[in-house]
């Protein structure tokens, strides 16, 4: 027999099932009404009544739909149209007398239409204010900090009270420092336009010390129209403080540019410090060895076009090996017969430099070639609104220091370095101790040439790569080596950075060419006073 359910229990179960069904239907209806209300609001945007369109904007702004901000921005910019055929919202752009259509919600292409087939959705001043506020609220509330930052930048200086209120609301919750800075700046600029003296003073206090150009411009506008002596004095003090801080940041930027130029000089000269300072060879082909390193970078990028971001990590050892082998070849075939005859080495290496230039013109190109920067070397490090350090120069400064210390370790902590120093100090004594001076000479020249090739990799990221690029650095390299002290690596580092900073300090008032001439004159006068440079060699090497 089937089990019988008591009557009162059956009533309770039936009631429960009815309630569950009602709850499910209500929830589905509520969810459906939200969707319908958003879709209905889209339809209402094409209504001729401005009141209906205003209500539709409120619904769209409150819907939370991710497409709402872009849709309202298009409406505010006058780019939102309705297609007569199906009442669909479209974005239009001119195309050969007609319009090219895109779907207003997903951006998909909808083909072309004549001007008669679409109608622009008109808005009035009240709707413009409403849209500005709605867009501000939507973009400032975006989860993406980049979107919020763009919104804050666009609202900068907007005195609309509704926009200001949206900024105040967002400022209480904002965590991103840069976005907070822009929001605070917007409020301060709005305060400058307030009729109340205490609020204008509050705005001035907020702007004091701000390095954003809008802050200084706002104070300038206030001073041009302000009549209250107290407000004027406060604004003058704030502007003076801003100018002082900007001057300090400009000095820091000049110092950075000087150090970056100095690092380039160090890279170009450090290989010459070995061949000229340690071996006594006047190598006029040193610039062409730098050029070979730069062209090696170009060829590596040509071989791996889809891996530009990683090409430098291949180009650095490749340039060192190629330029180093070229240096060994030059030493074994020419330089080895000219030791102790500096004038002959100068003439011979000058001829080699011409041969290398023509070789590049013949085998690669007589024109400059393009070497791309990796993406991680593009852009700049923004310290503050008045100070930005370009990544390319920052990385090259770090790279120059790494190359310097690596070379220092090789010369001070390895067997090759010990033999190089022994041969440099007393070649005959080193030979009597079993040092193969010929092998040491070749390896030393190859080391200096390899470092020149590595310098070419770095320089390819800053300047044009062409057959004549080495000529621009040969004179500067000799200046750095002589000024720092022949054969002294620390002197090369200090001299290169010093000359780079001196050049950049004089350029603003003397110009680039005159600054270089003044540096050259200074070095000539300095060498007259201290012929051995900043850090002269000591011991037997100095006597030789």
Q: What is the pLDDT of residues 40-58, one digit of tens each?
A: 888 888 888 888 888 888 8
76-88 tens-digit pLDDT = 888 889 888 888 8
Of residues 311, 313, 349, 347, the one with CA closest to residue 330: 349
DSSP-assigned letter for residue 372: P
Q: What is the DSSP string of 75-111?
A: HHTT-EEEETTT--EEEEEEETTEEEEEETTT--EEE
Quote the pLDDT of residue 136.
75
How high is the pLDDT of residue 290?
Answer: 92
- Residue 323 sits at the vertex; the CA angle it makes with 334 and 285, to the nearest 5 degrees, is 50
- The contacts of residue 115 (CB under 8 Å, 6+ apart) are 98, 99
Q: Give percent above pLDDT 90 in the chain.
A: 23
Mean pLDDT of the residues in the chain: 83
Output 361 or 540, whichever has higher pLDDT: 361
Residue 271's pLDDT is 84
Q: For the segment 286-302, what is each residue's pLDDT rounded down to a tens digit?
A: 999 999 999 999 999 99
Burial 306-330 (b: 16+ CB within 10 A, else e): eeeeebbebbbebbbebbbebbbeb
Does pLDDT of 256 surpass 50? yes
Q: What is the mean pLDDT of residues 191-200?
A: 89
Sign, CA torsion 345/351/352/354: positive
**Residue 122 vs residues 26, 85, 119, 461, 518: alpha-carbon distances, Å:** 37, 18, 9, 52, 66
- What does the pLDDT average to over 517-522? 86
Q: Lowest mean pLDDT: which of 34-38, 109-113, 116-120?
A: 34-38
pLDDT, greater one: 341 or 456? 456
pLDDT of res. 537: 65
Pair 190, 218: CB distance under 8 Å: no
What value does the mean pLDDT take over residues 209-224?
89
């Amino acid at each position: 027999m089937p089990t019988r359910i008591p009557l009162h229990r059956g009533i309770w179960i039936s009631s429960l099932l009815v309630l569950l069904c009602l709850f499910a239907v209500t929830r589905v209806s509520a969810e459906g009404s939200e969707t319908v209300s958003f879709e209905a609001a889209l339809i209402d945007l094409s209504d001729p009544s401005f009141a209906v369109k205003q209500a539709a904007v409120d619904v769209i702004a409150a819907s939370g739909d991710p497409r709402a901000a872009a849709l309202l921005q298009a409406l505010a910019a006058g780019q939102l149209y309705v297609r007569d055929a199906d009442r669909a919202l479209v974005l239009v752009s001119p195309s050969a007398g007609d319009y090219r259509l895109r779907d207003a919600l997903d951006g998909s292409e909808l083909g072309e239409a004549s001007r008669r087939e679409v109608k622009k959705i008109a808005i009035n001043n009240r709707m413009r204010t409403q849209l500005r506020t709605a867009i501000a609220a939507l973009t400032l509330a975006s989860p993406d900090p980049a979107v919020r930052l763009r919104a804050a930048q666009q609202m900068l200086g907007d005195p609309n009270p509704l926009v200001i209120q949206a900024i105040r609301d967002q400022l209480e919750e904002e965590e991103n420092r840069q976005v907070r800075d822009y929001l605070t700046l917007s409020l301060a600029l709005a305060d400058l336009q307030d009729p109340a003296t205490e609020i204008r003073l509050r705005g001035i206090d907020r702007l004091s010390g701000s390095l954003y150009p809008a802050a200084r411009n706002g104070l300038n506008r206030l001073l041009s129209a302000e009549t209250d002596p107290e407000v004027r004095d406060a604004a003058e003090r704030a502007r003076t403080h801003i100018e002082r801080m900007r001057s300090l940041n400009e000095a820091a930027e000049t110092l950075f540019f000087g150090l970056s130029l100095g690092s380039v000089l160090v890279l170009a000269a450090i290989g010459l410090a070995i061949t000229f300072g340690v071996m006594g060879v006047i190598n006029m082909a040193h610039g062409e060895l730098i050029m070979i390193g730069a062209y090696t970078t170009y060829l590596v990028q040509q071989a791996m076009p889809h891996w530009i971001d990683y090409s430098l990590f291949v180009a650095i050892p490749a340039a060192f090996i190629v330029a180093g082998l070229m240096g060994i070849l030059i030493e074994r075939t020419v330089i080895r017969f000219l030791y102790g005859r500096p004038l002959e080495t100068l003439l011979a290496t000058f001829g080699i430099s011409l041969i290398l230039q023509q070789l590049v013109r013949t085998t690669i190109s007589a024109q400059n070639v393009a070497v791309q920067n990796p993406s991680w070397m593009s852009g700049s490090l923004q310290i503050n609104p008045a100070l930005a350090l370009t990544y390319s120069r920052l990385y090259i400064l770090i790279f120059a220091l790494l190359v310097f210390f690596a070379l220092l370790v090789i010369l001070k902590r390895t067997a090759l370095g010990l033999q190089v120093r022994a041969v440099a100090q007393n070649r005959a004594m080193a030979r009597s101790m079993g040092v193969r001076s010929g092998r040491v000479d070749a390896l030393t020249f190859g080391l200096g040439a390899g470092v020149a090739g590595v310098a070419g990799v770095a320089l390819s990221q800053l300047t044009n790569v062409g057959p004549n690029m080495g000529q621009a650095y040969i004179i500067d390299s000799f200046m750095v080596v002589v000024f720092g002290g022949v054969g002294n690596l620390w002197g090369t580092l200090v001299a290169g950075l010093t000359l780079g900073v001196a050049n950049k300090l004089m350029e603003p008032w003397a110009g680039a060419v005159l600054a270089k001439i003044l540096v050259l004159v200074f070095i000539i006068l300095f060498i007259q006073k201290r012929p051995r440079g900043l850090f002269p060699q000591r011991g037997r090497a100095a006597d030789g």
